[in-house]
C-alpha cells in the first residue's frame, strides 16, 4: 500500500485579488474596502486608459475614457484618496500599470509617506512590462529604447529602496489574449525577461543581480485546456531556473524560483450563454493551482460577464468566492505536488520546453525581444488568425457559441442594467473640473522646477528617473504633465500593427467571398476599400487586426493605421483614402462618446455618406442608440463568423452605391 502523502501542515492559500477600480479614487476606495471585508487578501488596481497612457482627464484623447476601464488617478492627492484607511505597511498592492509605471509607483510611495509608512516597507507589484504593450495591450507611451530604460530604472531603484516590491511583472497573459500558443507564450515571455534583465544589468552593481533576478515576477494566463496550461507553468519554472543559473549566474535557489500571479483567460469567455463562463473560469483556476510545484502566488479571476461589459461588484464577488471555495473548502492545499512522477505531465512539460527553446533561439537571432517586436507581433496575429479559423470551421468547439447554441432566456442578463456596470457619465466632467482645481491650488513654481529637473534627468540616460519622478509627485505634478515631459524628451511612438506581414489565408472557403468582392469592385469601378479604425485610447487591437486581415484575404484594399486615433484623424483618413466603408472597433466602453464624434467628423470631412459599422463590447441598449445615430451595423463578441461579417459589408456597400454584387443567375 502506498503511504499517505499529506503535507504536515495545510499550505497557506495564494493571495486573492480582484482586478478592480472605476470612476474616481473615492468610489474605488470604497469598493476596495468592501472587497477586503469579503476576504480578499490583496489589492489589484485597475487604472483607466488616460492614466495608463499618461494623459490627464481633460486631454483631448481622454474623451470618453475617463474612469471607464479603471480608476482615474491624476496626482498624489488622488492616490491618497484611493488608499485611504488601507494600511500600506500591511497591504500588498498590484498595479496594472506599464508606460507610466514609474510615475504611479512614485505616487504610491508619496501616498505611503503621508500615512507615515517608509518606502522600504511597501509590498506590491507594478506591471511595468512595455514589450507586451507593443505586442498586445497597446497602452505604451514612449519608444522602445526609453521605455526599457524606465523599466530598468524602476528595477534598479526598488531593489535598493523598496526591496519587497516586485518592480516588473513579465506578462505572458496578454500574449495569450492576442492569440499566442503555449509555446509562444512561454518563449516570448522568457525573451522579454532576458531583454529586461540585460538592460538592468547595465544599471545595477553586479552583486545585486541575484536580488534583481529574484524580484522579477510573471503575470500568466491560463486557458481552458487546463492540463496543458498547468504543464506550461512547470515548463516556465524550469526555463526560468535555467536562465538564472546559466545566463545570470544566480547562485541562491530562492532567487531562481519562478514566481507568478495569474489572471485567467478572458479570450475564451463568451457573450453567448455567458453563465457558462463560470465553469471555464473554475477550470482555468485549477490550471494554476493544481500542482504545488507550479502554483500561483496570487490569483485574480475575471467575472462571468466580461464579454458583455464592465463587471459589477457582485459579479466580482462571485469570482472571489470561487477562489475561496477552492482554497478553503477543497483538499487542494493538503498535498505535495500531485503531478510528481506523472509521465503525461513530464512529457507535456518537455514538449513545451523544447518548442519554447527553439522559438527563444529565433528571437535571439533577430537581436532579442526589443528588436523582434515586429516578428513576434506578426506571429501572434497569425496564431490568432489560425485559432479563429478553427472556431469558424468547428474544429475548435466553444460551447454555446459555435456549438450547442440553443438556449433558454437567461435570468442573469434580464436585469434592468443588462447585467453590467455602467459608469456614471458625470464622472468625466467631474474629473476634468477636479484636475483643473488641483492645478490652480498648488505651488506652480515648484511644479515647473520639478518638471524641468525631470526633463534634464530624462535626457541623461546615465541617471535614474525615479528620484526626480518622486520629487515631481510630491509637489503635485499631474500624470499628464509627467508623461508629456517625457514625451517631449523621448518622442512619440506607434507600435507595429502586425497585419502587414500576416500570411494570406489558404483559399478554400474564401473563394466565393473573393468572387463577390471582385464583382462588387468591378461594379464600383475600383477595388472595394475598407478603413478599419480604432478611435480613442483603447489598445485592444486583436479584433480589429483579425477583421483587417480577413478583409484583405477576401480581396479588399484595407487601410489600417493601428490604435489610438482621434475621430478627426479617422475622418481625415477616410476622406483622403476614398474608402467605401468604415469599421470602428472599441472595447473600452467609450463607444457612446466616440462613435458619434467620428460620425460628426466624417460629415465635416465631406464623407458623411460612407457607411460605418461598429464592433466591440457594446450592450444592446447602446447598440440601438448607435444605429439611431446612423451606424449601419453593430457587432459584438457573439458575432464570431468573420466571413458573415464580410458578406454584410459587401452587401452594405453594394446597396449604398446602388450596385449589385450578386452572382449572375
Q: Which residues bind other proteins (CB under 8 A)?
A: 143, 491-492, 494, 497, 499-500, 502, 504-505, 507, 510, 514, 517-518, 522, 524-527, 548-549, 551-562, 566, 568-569, 571-573, 575-578, 580, 606, 657-659
Cα 295 to Cα 213, 265, 339, 398, distances in angstroms: 19, 16, 12, 27
Comparison of 378 and 636: residue with beta carbon closer to other proteins: 378
Comparison of 224 and 547: residue with beta carbon closer to other proteins: 547
- Cα distance between residue 523 and residue 517, in whole Å: 10
Stretch (H or E) spanning 549: helix 542-553
Which is nearest to 154 in space by CA: 124, 186, 117, 114?
Answer: 124
Which is nearest to 566 in space by CA: 195, 160, 55?
Answer: 55
* DSSP, res 212: H
Residues β-bridged to residue 298: 15, 261
Comparison of 336 and 606: residue with beta carbon closer to other proteins: 606
- Cα distance between residue 84 and residue 92, in whole Å: 15
Tell me which residue has cell 531583454.
195
Q: In 10 A of CB 252, how many CB atoms?
A: 12
Buried b or exposed e, range 158-173, using 16+ CB within 10 angstroms? bbebbeebbbbbbbbb
Comparison of 127 and 497: residue with beta carbon closer to other proteins: 497
* DSSP, res 555: T
Residues β-bridged to residue 532: 560, 583
- Cα distance between residue 323 and residue 334, in whole Å: 16
Which is nearest to 592 in space by CA: 23, 24, 53, 63?
Answer: 63
Three-state secondary-structure class, residue 437: helix
Comparison of 548 and 587: residue with beta carbon closer to other proteins: 548
Buried b or exposed e, range 463-501, using 16+ CB within 10 angstroms? ebbbbbbbbbbbbbbbbbbbbbbbbebbeebebbbbbee
Radius of gyration of the chain (CA): 25
- Cα distance between residue 162 and residue 337, in whole Å: 33
Is-contact 100 482, C-beta < 8 A?
yes
- What is the Cα 156 distance to its own chain's centre? 25
Three-state secondary-structure class, residue 169: strand
The catalytic site residues sit at: 19, 173-174, 534, 538, 540
Amino acid at each position: 500500500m502506498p503511504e499517505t502523502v499529506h503535507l504536515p501542515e495545510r499550505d497557506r492559500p495564494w493571495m486573492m485579488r480582484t482586478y478592480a477600480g472605476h470612476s474616481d479614487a473615492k468610489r474605488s476606495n470604497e469598493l476596495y474596502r468592501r472587497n477586503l471585508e469579503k476576504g480578499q487578501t490583496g489589492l489589484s488596481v485597475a487604472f483607466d486608459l488616460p492614466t495608463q497612457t499618461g494623459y490627464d482627464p481633460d486631454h483631448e484623447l481622454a474623451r470618453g475614457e475617463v474612469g471607464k476601464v479603471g480608476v482615474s488617478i491624476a496626482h498624489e492627492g488622488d492616490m491618497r484618496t484611493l488608499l485611504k484607511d488601507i494600511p500600506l505597511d500591511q497591504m500588498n498592492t498590484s498595479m496594472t500599470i506599464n508606460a507610466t509605471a514609474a510615475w504611479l509607483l512614485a505616487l504610491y510611495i508619496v501616498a505611503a509617506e503621508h500615512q507615515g509608512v517608509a518606502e522600504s516597507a511597501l509590498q506590491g507589484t507594478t506591471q511595468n512590462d512595455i514589450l507586451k504593450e507593443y505586442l498586445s495591450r497597446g497602452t505604451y507611451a514612449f519608444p522602445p529604447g526609453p521605455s526599457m530604460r524606465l523599466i530598468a530604472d524602476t528595477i534598479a531603484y526598488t531593489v535598493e529602496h523598496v526591496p519587497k516590491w516586485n518592480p516588473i511583472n513579465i506578462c505572458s497573459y496578454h500574449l495569450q489574449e492576442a492569440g499566442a500558443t503555449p509555446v509562444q507564450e512561454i518563449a516570448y515571455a522568457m525573451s522579454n525577461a532576458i531583454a529586461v534583465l540585460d538592460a538592468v544589468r547595465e544599471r545595477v552593481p553586479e552583486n545585486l543581480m541575484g536580488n534583481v533576478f529574484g524580484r522579477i515576477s510573471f503575470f500568466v494566463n491560463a486557458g481552458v485546456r487546463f492540463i496543458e496550461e498547468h504543464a506550461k507553468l512547470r515548463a516556465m519554472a524550469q526555463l526560468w531556473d535555467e536562465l538564472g543559473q546559466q545566463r545570470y549566474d544566480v547562485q541562491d535557489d530562492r532567487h531562481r524560483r519562478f514566481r507568478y500571479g495569474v489572471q485567467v483567460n478572458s479570450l475564451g469567455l463568451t457573450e453567448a450563454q455567458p453563465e457558462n463562463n463560470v465553469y471555464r473560469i473554475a477550470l482555468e483556476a485549477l490550471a494554476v493551482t493544481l500542482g504545488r510545484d507550479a502554483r500561483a502566488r496570487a490569483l485574480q479571476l475575471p467575472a462571468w460577464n466580461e464579454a458583455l461589459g464592465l463587471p459589477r461588484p457582485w459579479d466580482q464577488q462571485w469570482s472571489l468566492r470561487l477562489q475561496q471555495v477552492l482554497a478553503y473548502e477543497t483538499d487542494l492545499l493538503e498535498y505535495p505536488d500531485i503531478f510528481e512522477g506523472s509521465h503525461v505531465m513530464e512529457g507535456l512539460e518537455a514538449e513545451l520546453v523544447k518548442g519554447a527553446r527553439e522559438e527563444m533561439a529565433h528571437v535571439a537571432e533577430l537581436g532579442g525581444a526589443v528588436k523582434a517586436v515586429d516578428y513576434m507581433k506578426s506571429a501572434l496575429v497569425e496564431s490568432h488568425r489560425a485559432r479563429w479559423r478553427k472556431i469558424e470551421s468547428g474544429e475548435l468547439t466553444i460551447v454555446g457559441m459555435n456549438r450547442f447554441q440553443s438556449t433558454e432566456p437567461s435570468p442573469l442578463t434580464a436585469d434592468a442594467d443588462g447585467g453590467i456596470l455602467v459608469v456614471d457619465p458625470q464622472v468625466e466632467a467631474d474629473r476634468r473640473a477636479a484636475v483643473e482645481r488641483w492645478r490652480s491650488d498648488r505651488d506652480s513654481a515648484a511644479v515647473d522646477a520639478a518638471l524641468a529637473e525631470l526633463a534634464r534627468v530624462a535626457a541623461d540616460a546615465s541617471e535614474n528617473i525615479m528620484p526626480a519622478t518622486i520629487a515631481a509627485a510630491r509637489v503635485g505634478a499631474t500624470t499628464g504633465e509627467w508623461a508629456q515631459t517625457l514625451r517631449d524628451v523621448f518622442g512619440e511612438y506607434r507600435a507595429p500593427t502586425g497585419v502587414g506581414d500576416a500570411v494570406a489565408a489558404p483559399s478554400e472557403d474564401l473563394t466565393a467571398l473573393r468572387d463577390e468582392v471582385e464583382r462588387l469592385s468591378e461594379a464600383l469601378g475600383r477595388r472595394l476599400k475598407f478603413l478599419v479604425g480604432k478611435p480613442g485610447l483603447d489598445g485592444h487591437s486583436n479584433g480589429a487586426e483579425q477583421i483587417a486581415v480577413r478583409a484583405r484575404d477576401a480581396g479588399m484594399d484595407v487601410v489600417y493605421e493601428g490604435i489610438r486615433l482621434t475621430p478627426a484623424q479617422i475622418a481625415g483618413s477616410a476622406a483622403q483614402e476614398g474608402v467605401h466603408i468604415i469599421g470602428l472597433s472599441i472595447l473600452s466602453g467609450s463607444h457612446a462618446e466616440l462613435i458619434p464624434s467620428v460620425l460628426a467628423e466624417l460629415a465635416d470631412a465631406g464623407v458623411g455618406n460612407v457607411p460605418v459599422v461598429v464592433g466591440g463590447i457594446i450592450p444592446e441598449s447602446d447598440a440601438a442608440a448607435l444605429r439611431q445615430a446612423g451606424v449601419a451595423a453593430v457587432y459584438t463578441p457573439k458575432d464570431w463568423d468573420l466571413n458573415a461579417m464580410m458578406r454584410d459589408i459587401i452587401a452594405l456597400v453594394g446597396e449604398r452605391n446602388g450596385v449589385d454584387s450578386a452572382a449572375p443567375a
